[in-house]
Amino acid sequence: MMPALPPGESFRFRLAVGKAYRVKRSTREEKRERGQQCLRALLDLLDARMRQADERRRERGD
């Protein structure tokens, strides 16, 4: 039994929407790339903070 379609919505329209949604969804590679970019940004931030802390430590030590 087919689910009831809202008035004005054809089955073809629903198929087209489903196809567009599938095409639009990001692929595994894109998700992995986005995750790697996020990790790189976090590591860069951490690295900068560590350098600042080292510089402050040197200034206090000297």
Query: Buried b / exposed e across 30-59, counting CB within 10 Å, b at 16+?
Result: eeeeeeeeeeeeeeeeeeeeeeeeeeeeee
pLDDT over 80 (residue 8): no
Query: Quick check: pTM over 0.75?
Result: no
Over residues 17-47, the pLDDT tens digits come to 666 655 556 788 888 999 999 999 999 999 9
Is there a domain that residue 7 lies in? no
What count of Cα atoms within 13 Å lies in the side-chain half-sphere of residue 19? 6
Is there a domain that residue 49 lies in? yes
Amino acid at 42: L
What pLDDT is stored for residue 13 in this prediction?
65
What range does the domain containing 39 cover? Answer: 27-62
Whole-number Å distance between alpha carbons of 6 and 54: 64
Is there a domain that residue 22 lies in? no
Is there a domain that residue 4 lies in? no
- DSSP 8-state code for residue 8: T
What pLDDT is stored for residue 43 in this prediction?
95
